[in-house]
Amino acid sequence: LGMLCVNPSYVIQPGFQLSFVATAALIAWFESIHRMAQGALHPIRRVVTYLAGIIMTSLAAEIATLALIVYHFNSVSLYG
């Protein structure tokens, strides 16, 4: 928000939009990832939960930004 106060034209730039949407998605997904990690007591389950959290974090950002990526760049990445 501070950046927008200095230069409001940032809101139309793809980089700003992608960063804003990805951050909002990660904040929205944080509670479910945090709840999943709290229940893991067994060491193997902790590792699996940790890896699942990494994958969920990446997927949340990727899914949230997908529409903007297609709009601005007219393509979809098959890996990320």
Q: How confident is the model over 1-44, as pLDDT tens digits?
A: 788 899 999 999 999 999 999 999 999 888 777 777 676 677 88
Band (71; pLDDT cuts 50, 70, 90): very high
**What contacts 72, CB < 8 A, 6 or more positions away?**
14, 17
pLDDT at 80: 63
Q: Element (H or E) spanning 32, and its range? A: helix 14-38
Q: How many helical (H) and strand (E) elements, i.e. helices and strands, does the chain have?
A: 3, 0
DSSP 3-state of 79: coil
Local confidence band at 56 (pLDDT 50, 70, 90 cut-offs): confident
pTM: 0.75
